[in-house]
């Protein structure tokens, strides 16, 4: 079996002994250490026939590092929407860089990439163990956030002016693309600045990250909301609880929350178009459920059903990051379900709940907080070792280095043929006819 370790860009040769080498029980990662990409026998055999089995470079501390901790500054930005765990990652980075590596100048650039531009509304915040000590207990981000990139040369000039030799970007797909552009521009100018990305997407839709931070917290919080919707639906004759959850292109939160709370009767996700009308459609299926049990609970991901909302083209408007501004499928379904039952002379009591901004603002739970700590530590190790143009991923139960080109190449989505979705169908007992649009 011929191994192929996915190459990671580096600033230069690592010649300095790591400060961690003097510590007790120091364990370092060898550069040729890898984590296998495929795990299923059939896929491994295919790889062996076409060039060898692929491995990701294993993350972790290196015995020799590139950057001199006493002669550099590090920068941190948080971008995009809020997500449980952002503060935890900031804290982990600061503690590892300051206490373990001895980097004494760590700058938090305010409000995402805007903070790196000449139009930055505030000066960068100097971070240290004292002013990040409480962050694991609160939601949001100490540094603030924003969407959209800025002019690349302008941002790189800001880094150079502040002697920043490692930039840590915490964000989703758009942030990753911005980080890649910054890293490639820096390499062209040979400025010797590392760019390390920490993946943040509450929707769990980034590739090569089996679980993104904040996702478990979101599912846990969503589960409680669904329980409330179920109580509301049972409290009225023909009661319907309708819950809209996050998930623009990927329905992982909706799917997993539906598995975590078996009160869900219908789960609608972006990956599977559904129909409203006709025998076996959503309206007909809800009617049969009410006749059989007297109440129903519906969970819908925010990106589901966009093809059904015909007010104007879906792609008519975009946010500063280039994301399509979707129509509110929750309000749409609320109105259409009420219209349907009014039209057939059946009185219902529908309660609509949208907890999105509440969920994304809460502190990370125990599992996510631990995960954020380890992501931050491994990002610090990668940066100090002179790695660049890469993301810290989590693959096959190990932390790995993933090139940003790969990380931004495709989106992670629910496979309608996967065991996950089959389990959702089994748990909800919703009919397959809802998704049959032929």
- Domains in the chain (CATH in brackets) are 3-212+364-407 (3.40.50.450), 221-360+416-435 (3.40.50.460)
Confidence of residue 321 (pLDDT cuts 50, 70, 90): low
Identify the pLDDT of residue 314.
Answer: 47
Two structure tokens written together for 18: 């790591």
Confidence of residue 23 (pLDDT cuts 50, 70, 90): low
Query: Is the CA virtual torsion 261, 262, 265, 267 positive or negative?
Result: positive
Identify the pLDDT of residue 25.
Answer: 67
Mean pLDDT of 410-434: 94
Q: Is the pLDDT of residue 153 over 50?
A: yes
Give per-residue pLDDT as tens, 40-67: 666 666 666 666 777 889 999 999 999 9
Tokens 């409480």 belong to: 134
Contact 391, 168 (CB under 8 A): no
Is residue 71 annotated as part of the catalytic site, yes or no? no
Identify the pLDDT of residue 41.
Answer: 65
Confidence of residue 206 (pLDDT cuts 50, 70, 90): confident
Q: Is the pLDDT of residue 24 over 70?
A: no
Two structure tokens written together for 113: 């990439």
Catalytic residue among 203, 205, 263, 368: 203
d(CA 179, CA 196): 8
Tokens 């971008």 belong to: 79
Q: Is the pLDDT of residue 356 over 70?
A: yes
Mean pLDDT of 397-421: 91
Confidence of residue 209 (pLDDT cuts 50, 70, 90): confident
């Amino acid at each position: 079996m011929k191994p192929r370790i996915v190459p990671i860009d580096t600033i230069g040769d690592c010649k300095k002994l790591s400060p961690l080498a003097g510590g007790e029980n120091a364990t370092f990662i060898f550069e040729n250490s890898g984590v296998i990409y495929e795990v299923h026998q059939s896929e491994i055999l295919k790889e062996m026939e076409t060039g060898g089995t692929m491995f990701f470079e294993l993350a972790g501390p290196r015995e020799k590092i590139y950057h001199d901790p006493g002669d550099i500054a590090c920068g941190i930005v948080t971008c995009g929407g809020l997500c449980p765990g952002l503060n935890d990652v900031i804290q982990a980075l600061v503690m590892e860089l300051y206490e373990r590596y001895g980097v004494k100048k760590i700058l938090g650039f305010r409000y995402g990439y805007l903070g790196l531009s000449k139009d930055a509304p505030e000066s960068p915040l100097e971070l240290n163990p004292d002013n990040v000590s409480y962050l694991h207990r609160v939601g949001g981000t100490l540094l603030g956030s924003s969407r959209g990139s800025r002019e690349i040369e302008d941002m790189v000039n800001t880094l150079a002016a502040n002697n920043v030799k490692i930039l840590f970007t915490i964000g989703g797909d758009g942030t990753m693309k911005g980080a890649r552009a910054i890293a490639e521009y820096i390499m062209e100018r040979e400025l010797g600045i590392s760019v390390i990305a920490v993946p943040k997407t509450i929707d769990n839709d980034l590739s090569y990250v089996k679980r993104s931070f904040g996702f478990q917290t979101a599912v846990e919080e969503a589960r409680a909301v669904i329980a409330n919707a179920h109580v509301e639906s049972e409290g009225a004759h023909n009661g319907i609880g309708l819950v809209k959850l996050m998930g623009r292109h990927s329905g992982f939160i909706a799917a997993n929350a539906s598995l975590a709370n078996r009160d869900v009767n219908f789960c609608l996700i972006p990956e599977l178009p559904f129909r409203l009308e006709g025998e076996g459609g959503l309206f007909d299926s809800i009617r049969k459920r009410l006749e059989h049990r007297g109440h129903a609970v519906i969970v819908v991901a925010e990106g589901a059903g966009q093809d059904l909302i015909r007010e104007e083209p879906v792609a008519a408007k975009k946010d500063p990051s280039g994301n399509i501004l979707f129509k509110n499928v929750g309000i749409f379904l609320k109105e259409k379900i009420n219209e349907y039952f009014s039209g057939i002379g059946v009185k219902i009591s529908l309660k609509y709940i949208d907890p999105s901004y509440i969920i994304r603002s809460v502190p990370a739970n125990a599992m996510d907080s631990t995960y954020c700590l380890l992501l931050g530590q491994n990002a610090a190790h990668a940066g100090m070792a002179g790695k660049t143009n890469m993301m810290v991923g989590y693959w096959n139960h190990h932390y790995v280095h993933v090139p940003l080109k790969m990380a931004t190449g495709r989106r992670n989505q629910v496979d309608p043929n996967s065991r996950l979705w089959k389990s959702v169908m089994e748990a909800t007992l919703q009919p397959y006819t809802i998704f049959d649009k032929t």
